[in-house]
Amino acid sequence: MNYSAPRSVLSFFAASCALIFGTAALAQPPQPIFTPFHANGIYALPDTVGWTVTLPSGATAPAGSFTFTIRRNNLDVLKTGSFDLSSGTATIQFPYSEPAMLYVSVNQVAAPSSTPLSAPEARQINDGLKALLADKDSALKPVFDRHPELEIVPVPLPSSAPTGELIATLGAAVAPTSLPPSAPRPADFDAFWAAKLNALKKVPIHPVITATPTTQAGVELYTVTLDNLGSHVHGYLAKPKGKGKFPVLIIYQWAGVYALQSSWATNRAAEGWMVFDVDSHDMAPDQDAGAPKDYNAVGNTSRETSYFLNMYLRDTRALDFVSTLPSWDRKTIVVTGTSMGGQQSLVTAGLNPGRVTAVVVNEPSGADSNGELHGRRTGYPFWPSADPQVMKTALYFDTVNFASHIKAPTLLAVGFIDTVAPPVGIWTAFDQIPGPKEIVPMVESDHNNITPQKQGDYLQRAEEVLATVLHGGKFIPNAGSTLPRR
């Protein structure tokens, strides 16, 4: 039954609560500041991982205490503890001596009230409020009679203890350049993908290129469809107007089923790129439906039926296509993407060494698929670790197993508290890349869509790299960013 209370009853209820609990607004407590011992969040072996905890200038120490839990690779609990800020400062520290990503969750536990509300008092208040409301509106009485469990004021459980409110998640990398793959690459991995690429070569591209309106000045836009092994490639192609030779930027998309925005291609074309923005699915780029919502689980018990097989082949077919265009400068092809777009970029560069000029990716997913069998929390595509056949299949699509073939200079960003593309997998893939590489450690970042305000370091460095390559320069990675700071 749906019931909508009259405004007068809601007002009466609010007034009743105000009389019982008071109307004074609670001031927002000051949030502590957590400063890592090493500014870039990277530690050597052995070392003590830690944070100094302080309050903002002029803030008064909050009442109550704080608890913390340290997990290795966001899975196994290593340590729990507590601290308070009565002196204005505290530390969280933990000696550690093996390669790992450490996650720390911090909770604030409020100081107990001097007169906490007891369960009998809460029930008495509930009964009184229900009687007042039913007297005001008789239609409420049968509702309350049918649902005696309804609580207007929460009734505390007899054995409940305050767990506190999560106020911060912290991350640290310990010897991350020494992280080994959680599972060996399948013995026939290279042979499997070589056979698929050979079969792809036998399929003519048959490009269908349709001029498409755009409001971006000085840019031509086209909708593209290509034949592929087992599916079709779709996307937007954009280039500066007129004749010329241009460097190519291939954009691969993050997870989901959605329409592409043509501006993602035309904005970059306005800078001077020829851009191919590739849909992750076999559907027109202006459509927001046409692929299963749970595509990441489709066919995941076999390498021949996994949804990612055709996706990865479409990514290489996009590379085949731009390589045939007369407007390509015959020198530069950069692949880029975020999350699943980064996953596709790493795979494409690994399957096509020598054909890709540079890789620029942010928090790429798809790494360390078997991690939960080996003490590492895994992320997207969230292959179920309890199914042995899925785990076997996943290794043929795991970015870690493509990374060792990447020759192009690679810029890769990692969020230290990322729960969608966990950093332990990203570091493991990064470690396998034999070519020149640079990592951007985003110490306070969860996944890009969760903490977009923490993506600045990657965005700045990515723009620097793209501008350098666009204007004919060479991307030379800064390897020093991966070193621990003492």
Predicted local distance difference test score (pLDDT) of residue 482: 53
Section 8-22 average pLDDT: 46
What is the CB neighbour count within 10 angstroms for residue 319?
20
Cα 201 to Cα 196, 314, 316, 328, 348: the distances in Å are 9, 12, 10, 20, 15
Residue whose pair of structure tokens reads 């699509």 in the numeric block: 397
Residue 285 has pLDDT above 80, yes or no: yes
Give yes or no for residue 19 having a pLDDT over 50: no
pLDDT at site 119: 77
Phi-psi region of 366 (alpha: psi -120 to 50; beta: other; left: phi over 0): left
The pLDDT of 111-123, averaged and rounded, is: 70
Can you tell me which residue has the tokens 């390559």? 469
Residue 272 clears pLDDT 50, i.e. is over it? yes
pLDDT digits (tens, 9 = 90+) for 211-234: 999 999 999 999 999 999 999 999
The 10s digit of each residue's pLDDT in 47-60 is: 999 999 999 988 88
Taking residue 457's Cβ as centre, other Cβ atoms within 10 Å add up to 17
Closest CA to 393 of 255, 179, 189: 189
Give me the torsion for CA of 341, 344, 346, 347, rounded to 10°.
Answer: 170
- Domains defined along the chain, listed by start: 33-112+162-174 (2.60.40.1930), 179-482 (3.40.50.1820)
* Cα distance between residue 183 and residue 188, in whole Å: 14
> pLDDT by residue (tens digit) across 141-163?
787 777 777 777 777 655 444 45
Helix (H) or strand (E) holding 470: helix 456-470
